Amino acid sequence: MRRSRVAGSLLPLSSVLSSVLAMSALAGCPDRSISEVTPVQGRVEAKDIPVNINRQLDLLFVIDDSPSMADKQANLADNFPKFIDVLKSIPGGLPDVHIGVVTSDMGTQGPPPSFGPTVGAGLPGACSGVGKDGVMQTFGQPVNAVYISDTTDPAPSRNYTGDLATVFGNIAKGAGARGCGFEQHLAAAQRALVNPANAGFLRDNAYLGIIYIADEDDCSLGDFKLLADDATSRNTLGAVQSFRCTRFGVLCNQGGQSPDQMNQVGTKSQCHSNDDSPFLAKINDLVTALKAVKKNDPNKIIVAGIVGSVDQFAVELRTPPGEKTAIPALAHSCSYTDRNGQTEVADPPIRIKTFLDQFPNRSTFVPICQKDLSGGLQQIGDLLKTVIGDPCIEGVLQNFGTTAAPVYDCSVSSVTNPGTNDAKETIMPECPASGALPNTPCWHIVADPVNCPASTDPKTGAPIHPGSLKLMFENNAPPTMGGPDVHVIANCVTQTPPPTK
């Protein structure tokens, strides 16, 4: 087999995952002395496949239930079947899932046991007490627990009646749009994972996926005084509006290096979470708390956001509903027209994006400002599929042989204890084209159009990846390959199309 200089190279587990986009391949150009090759050799696709695939997946959806979210919840519900379809395409079918739903309404609570005053009593967006306190909700759907369970180990079992996508969709829409307008998305997830009311949801060995659906940024409180409504507080903090969360929770290197500058009208850039804020929970603390839930293996945490765009950030003057005076407000960063012809908007989620970025190769970011969320949900499903272990080849492999007898350029290794100081790599040879298999593990590329079908963009119909091929390894019993925590890591040369003339 022709072997490029990627042979024997081993990237750590956190670096080798292929992109969550369905058409993905890790950038890189192997060193080859080949003049004109058509199709043009281009990139390397990396695969990371656990030998012992863990099929347990705990999924927590944090749904913004503040005013303005009704259409976005319906959009999520309508397109959730696409997400389930991606999970069903994982080898072996739908993983053993627990699916829980919490809302962003944490009332006026800061770090327990402190509480702020009620805000907007009796109105949509009102905040009081503990809110929904991270308790998982089913909103009257036929589920015999606070979360959905659909598992096959040790025997097929489900705790709901009807179709999974339909039941979840009705829960998503049931969240409604009257919850607290000071949305504590990150704190709600943290509370959900430790609240005794949700006992049984979190499994020790399962992957944990958290998906945030929101049209405003996070306002997880570090001090309930952010919600104070006395004259002095209004003087120093501004009107009791969610812009307080932005003013004291975000800083911008250009145009917003202090809360006073953040209060000034104008475009700002290079914005990030303000982790010195006296009022907002520190992002680093929230990340640390989440990783502690999977302290034995934080790589089992996957996070995603279906949120507003971060491409533009500005402060403008805007008049709140029912008021007469314009006050500083965060300008919307994206908009779209919903199914009813109404304009829907979302704000730049700087704190949420900062949080997601702390989980490299285990996070993805999807814009909520689109009428059809199917592509975004598919993207998140692809990330989960990749992390669990997906042997399907997404790119077009460079074939150095013929159609009848293809020759692919891959370097493949078995790795025990990947990502640790005890990691050990063993180069795996390619299986022979014919005859008996060797007594040691080997690999080959096989066609499997059933489990690795081609996919297309749901909006444009354009092909995303050709499907059919997958990486398969033989004689792969864990004792043969060195232990129970073994991954097969492969780098295969893909082709890129020739330049358009």
Q: Provide the CATH number for the domain around residue 88.
A: 3.40.50.410
Alpha-carbon distance of 89 to 452, in angstroms, equals 8
Signed CA dihedral, 39, 41, 42, 47: sign only = positive
175 domain-assigned:
yes
363 domain-assigned:
yes
- What does pTM read for this prediction? 0.80
Contact in structure between 172 and 235 (CB atoms under 8 Å): no
Q: Are residues 374 and 442 in the same domain?
A: no
Single residue among 389, 421, 453 that ends a domain in this structure: 389
81 domain-assigned:
yes
Residue 314, helix vs strand vs coil: strand
Q: Are residues 26 and 88 in the same domain?
A: no
Q: Are residues 207 and 125 in the same domain?
A: yes
146 domain-assigned:
yes
Q: Are residues 440 and 472 in the same domain?
A: yes
Single residue among 356, 389, 422 that ends a domain in this structure: 389
pLDDT of residue 171: 95
368 domain-assigned:
yes
Q: Are residues 172 and 295 in the same domain?
A: yes
pLDDT of residue 110: 83
CA distances from 221 to 110, 114, 127, 371, 476 (A): 5, 10, 13, 31, 49
pLDDT of residue 463: 54
Q: Are residues 38 and 154 in the same domain?
A: no
- Give the domain extent around 36: 13-52+394-496
In 141-175, which positions are buried (b, 16+ CB within 10 angstroms) versus exposed (e)? bebebbbbbbbeeeeeebebeeebbebbbbbbbbb
CA distances from 251 to 169, 190, 256, 353 (A): 36, 24, 5, 14
Q: Are residues 47 and 141 in the same domain?
A: no
274 domain-assigned:
no
- Look at the chain and report how many structural domains it folds into: 2
Q: Are residues 473 and 417 in the same domain?
A: yes
* Cβ count near 63 (within 10 Å): 28
pLDDT of residue 29: 34
pLDDT of residue 27: 33
Alpha-carbon distance of 482 to 479, in angstroms, equals 5
Write the CB contacts of 74 (distance below 8 Å, at least 6 apart in sequence). 173, 339
pLDDT of residue 339: 83
337 domain-assigned:
no
Q: Are residues 421 and 479 in the same domain?
A: yes
Token pair of 169, please?
């969709």
Alpha-carbon distance of 197 to 208, in angstroms, equals 18
- Residue listed under structure tokens 């689109």: 370
Token pair of 231, please?
């004259």
Helical segments of 91-230, H only: 164-174, 185-192
| E strand residue ranges, 217-296 | 250-254, 266-273
474 domain-assigned:
yes
Write the CB contacts of 43 (distance below 8 Å, at least 6 apart in sequence). 25, 26, 27, 28, 29, 395, 493, 494, 496
pLDDT of residue 20: 29
Q: Are residues 405 and 284 in the same domain?
A: no
- What end-to-end distance do the CA atoms of the chain give, in Å? 33
Q: Are residues 46 and 95 in the same domain?
A: no
Alpha-carbon distance of 81 to 373, in angstroms, equals 11
Token pair of 294, please?
């999977």
Q: Are residues 210 and 163 in the same domain?
A: yes
pLDDT of residue 122: 85
Alpha-carbon distance of 162 to 150, in angstroms, equals 12
Single residue among 360, 389, 418 that ends a domain in this structure: 389
Signed CA dihedral, 193, 196, 197, 198: sign only = positive
Mean pLDDT, consecutive 10-residue segments, the chain of 501 residues? 30 31 32 38 77 86 93 91 84 89 94 81 90 96 97 92 95 93 97 97 95 97 93 94 97 97 97 96 96 90 95 95 90 92 94 96 91 87 82 85 89 82 86 84 87 67 67 63 71 72 41
Kindly write down the DSSP assignment for every residue of 366-391, as one continuous string. Answer: EES-SS--HHHHHHHHHHHHHHHH--
Q: In 3D, which of 197, 381, 183, 212 has the Cα closest to residue 290?
A: 212
